[in-house]
Structures are given as C-alpha cells and as structure tokens.
C-alpha cells in the first residue's frame, strides 16, 4: 500500500502570518500520524518563511514514523540536518522568490553540489532522496547517484496536477520515470499539488511507495480538522 507523508509547512505558514505561537506543526504532526500518516515532512527554507529551526528540533522528538526534511544544499541546512538527524532529507532546488518549489533538481548543473551533500548526509546516517521532474534526461542522470542514494527519489507531480494539463500524458511521464528509477533499485516517492481528486492515479502506480502531500491536507484541515483531512486523503489513495 502506498504510504502518506504529511507535509506540515503550511500549519507554520498560518502561525507566521501573525507571528503567533499557534498553530504548531508539531500538534498537526501528532494528529496526522495518529490518523494514519506514515511520516511527516517539513521544508526548512533559507528564508524561514514557514518552518523554523525550533520546529525541526521539536518534530524530531515527536514524530514516530519517518521524519523527512526538505531542504536545499545550502551549507547551513546541511549542518542543521547533520545535527538534528531526520530519518530522510529530500534535496530540493530553492529560489528565494518562488511561492513553492517550482521544479525538480537540475542534476546536470547542480551535480557536484548534490553529490557532496548526499555524501555528507549519508555519513551522518541520513537517507537522502532527490526531488526530480519526470524528465527522462534527469531520470537517466539519477543512475550516477544511485550508489549513494540510500533513500531514492521523489517525482515532481506538479505538471500532472495543474488545471488544464494533459493529465494522461503527464501521468505517463510519471509512470515511465517511476519504472526507470525502480529498475535501478531506487525507492520511488512522488508529490506536489496532489488532492483527493487527483491522487488515486498516482497512488496506484505500483512502484510508488510514498506520497508527500501538504497544501491540500492543511487547507482541508482548516475546515474539517487534521484527523479527518488525513483520513479522507488515505481513503482517496485507496
């Protein structure tokens, strides 16, 4: 069965909007795990727009399943990860002006920095995943990293989920990328833009082990509560 890692960034977004002390990502993480999530994801951005350093420390002590920390290869992030030791780090590209992660890593341009980050994290006992577009060129390049990747890679589902997209074509790209990566023995994850409406076709791809879903679940939780929002998503995943 495909597992669900709940991204709690936007619980922190709500808190930071007022500079308040509530709601906390940790409270949301506890409820999400109790409702059936296999793990929790948080993205510590260089600009600290939502998740703060203290949130990562607290999540480390509270999360019972897999704690997945999304981050760039910036030195301060690598230092923090090696200190906090999440179960997994997902390396993502980060641009200060973007609203959300806009695409996968460019393994050609950023290859050496990514390779160095993977080794540093791996030496600290942290599994590493790379966020990658379902682009055959990028997926082919993953093979160069496969020996060092203890975790695997996360396929960016953004294009598939966009309104007006050719969902069948975009899904095919995801299926092909998943099959290619799995053939090299990599674990396959997926996420970005997933909702209860579009999740099933991704969760049904047999080699996809885990989905990483945040904005929709947190948005739904504001209306119906985190427990129900997570259970609804798990039901939609099948």
Give the three-class secondary structure for 153. strand
- Can you tell me which of 2, 3, 6, 7 binds ligand PXP, judged by CB under 6 A? 7
Instruction: Give CA–CA dist 83/47, Å, rounded.
Output: 19
- Can you tell me which of 25, 86, 103, 191 binds ligand PXP, judged by CB under 6 A? 191
Phi/psi of residue 187, each to 5°?
A: -75, 140
Region 92-111 residues binding ligand PXP, contact defined as CB under 6 A? 92, 100-101
Q: Per the residue annotation, which of 10, 33, 50, 70 is the catalytic one?
A: 70
Q: Residues 117, 123, 124, 127: is their CA dihedral positive or negative?
A: positive
DSSP 69: E
DSSP 230: H
Q: Per the residue annotation, which of 10, 50, 159, 192 is the catalytic one?
A: 192
Q: 100 or 146, CB closer to ligand PXP?
A: 100
Phi/psi of residue 144, each to 5°?
A: -65, -20
Nearest approach in angstroms of CB 116 to ligand PXP is: 20
* Conformation bin of residue 185: beta by default, left when phi > 0, alpha when psi is -120 to 50: left
Site string for ligand PXP, 28-67 (x = CB under 6 A): ---------------x------------------------
Q: Which positions touch ligand PXP (CB under 6 A)?
A: 7, 9, 43, 70, 90, 92, 100-101, 131, 154, 191-194, 212-216
Active site residues per annotation: 43, 70, 192
């Amino acid at each position: 069965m495909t597992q669900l890692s709940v991204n709690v960034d936007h619980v922190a977004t709500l808190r930071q909007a007022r500079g308040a002390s509530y709601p906390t990502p940790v409270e949301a993480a506890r409820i999400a795990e109790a409702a059936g999530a296999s793990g929790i994801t948080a993205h510590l951005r260089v600009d600290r727009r939502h998740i703060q350093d203290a949130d990562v420390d607290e999540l480390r002590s509270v999360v019972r399943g897999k704690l997945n920390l999304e981050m760039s290869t910036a030195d301060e992030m690598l230092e923090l990860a090696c200190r906090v030791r999440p179960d997994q780090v997902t390396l993502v590209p980060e641009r200060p002006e973007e609203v959300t992660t806009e695409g996968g890593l460019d393994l050609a341009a950023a290859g050496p920095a990514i390779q160095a980050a993977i080794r540093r994290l791996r030496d600290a006992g942290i599994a590493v995943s790379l966020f990658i577009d379902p682009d055959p060129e990028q997926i082919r390049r993953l093979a160069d990293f496969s020996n060092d990747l203890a975790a695997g890679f996360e396929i960016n589902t953004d294009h598939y989920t966009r309104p007006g997209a050719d969902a069948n074509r975009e899904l095919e790209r995801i299926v092909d990328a998943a099959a290619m990566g799995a053939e090299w023995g990599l674990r396959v994850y997926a996420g970005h833009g997933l909702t209860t409406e579009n999740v099933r076709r991704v969760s049904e791809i047999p080699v996809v082990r885990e989905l990483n879903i945040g904005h929709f679940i947190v948005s739904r939780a504001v209306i119906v509560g985190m427990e129900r929002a997570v259970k609804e998503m798990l039901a939609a995943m099948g």
